[in-house]
Amino acid sequence: MQLLGETYTVRHVMVPLPRIEYVAPGGEVKAREIVAEKKYSVVPASKDGESFDAVFNTESSPDGGRTVTTLEPTSVSDYIPDSTPLAEAFFLFESREWYLTLRGNRVSGLITYWAFNSREFRVQLYAGISRSEELSRNVLATDGCGVSSREGLDLASDVLDKAQTQFDSSRKKLGGNRFVDELQFHHVHDALRKHLRWRDFLHERLGRELSNKEYGRLYDFTKLRDGVMHGRVLIPSYRDFQSFSGMVDNIGKLIGHLDAYSVPDTA
């Protein structure tokens, strides 16, 4: 996961310098026209399109549009290296919507939270979610739940009946040998949530007990997974981006807990 997180960087998804839309210093009227049409979160101001001493900031309006608010001089905090891994950059956007990017000491582009709709970042998210799913299946199977039959799985009978049909077919045609591998993603989550041995372990690590509702809030990634796989736009607004940031962080935390459960400390 760490290697994947370092594979894609900001430069893979940023708007490169030649394509940054900017206005001349004092060009507020033009900035307002651009924002009204394209809903940009920021419009840089520049004399030459290579250095940006100021930006026109914007804010969302209740109708989903954007309006220019202030012209602010840029500062050191407005820049990040374009070599910043996407997994790291994601969390830099929790409190702001945009950064200019640097390569060496020169501006190389512009990145906003919108860039995280990119397929590169989706690859990282899907890999993380898939890892948590595989570890969840392994935990259940290792504890004797859903190994060669439905035994040990606390799920609805219709869910288990469908999985049984698929399992019988898999064994006959493909050599499948774990019942739990026939469950859908959200069923794996539900089965693990109900697995008391796992819950006891997790509560001991956390130092507190989670209600079923809180467990779901922290570790149910089904909606995010569906968005990663099927949605044209993963994060349609900055508010959505901020709500996703905690969930993305929880993916890594759950993987850590599952890893610790799978390989207990014997020291």
Residue with tokens 């956007």: 93
The last residue of one of the domains, among 113, 137, 158, is 113
Same domain, 170 and 108: no
- The reply to whether 250 falls in a domain is yes
Pairing verdict, β 42-45 and 54-60: antiparallel
Q: Tell whether 97 and 128 lie within a shared domain.
A: no
β-strands 79-81, 98-103 pairing: parallel
Pair (85, 151) in one structural domain: no
The yes-or-no verdict on residue 235 having pLDDT over 60 is yes
Q: Which residue has the higher pLDDT, 10 or 6?
A: 10
Same domain, 256 and 151: yes
Give tens-digit pLDDT for 81-116: 999 999 899 999 999 999 999 999 899 999 999 999
**Domain end: 113, 147, 177, which one?**
113
Count of the separate structural domains present in the chain: 2
Co-location of 106 and 143 in the same domain: no
pLDDT range class, residue 4, cuts 50, 70, 90: low
When the pLDDT of each residue in the chain is averaged and rounded to a whole number, the result is 92
Instruction: For residues 24 and 126, give the distance between their C-alpha atoms in angstroms, rounded to a whole number.
Output: 41
User: Per the domain annotation, does 1 fall within a domain?
Assistant: no
User: Are 109 and 29 members of one domain?
Assistant: yes
Q: Within a domain: residue 267?
A: no
Q: What is the CATH number of the domain that holds 64?
A: 3.10.580.10
In the Cβ-directed half-sphere of 191, how many Cα atoms lie within 13 Å?
Answer: 32
Q: How far apart are CA 128 and CA 36, in angstroms?
A: 37
Which helix H or strand E contains 21, and what residues bound it? none
5 in a domain, yes or no? no
In what helix (H) or strand (E) does residue 136 lie, and over which residues does it extend?
helix 119-142
Does any domain span residue 243? yes
Q: pLDDT tens digit string along 242-253?
A: 888 889 889 999
Co-location of 24 and 134 in the same domain: no
Please state whether 64 falls in left (phi above 0), alpha (psi between -120 and 50) or beta. Answer: left
Beta bridge partners of 110: 15, 100
Decide which of 113, 143, 161 is a domain's last residue. Answer: 113
pLDDT for 54-90, tens place per residue? 999 999 887 778 999 999 999 999 999 999 999 899 9
What's the predicted TM-score (pTM) here?
0.83
Pair 179, 154 in one domain: yes
Overall average pLDDT of the 128-148 stretch: 96
Residue 3 lies in a domain: no
Residue 18 pLDDT level (bands cut at 50, 70, 90): very high
Residues in the chain: 267
On whether residue 60 sits in a domain, the answer given is: yes
Find the domain containing 107 and state its range.
Answer: 10-113
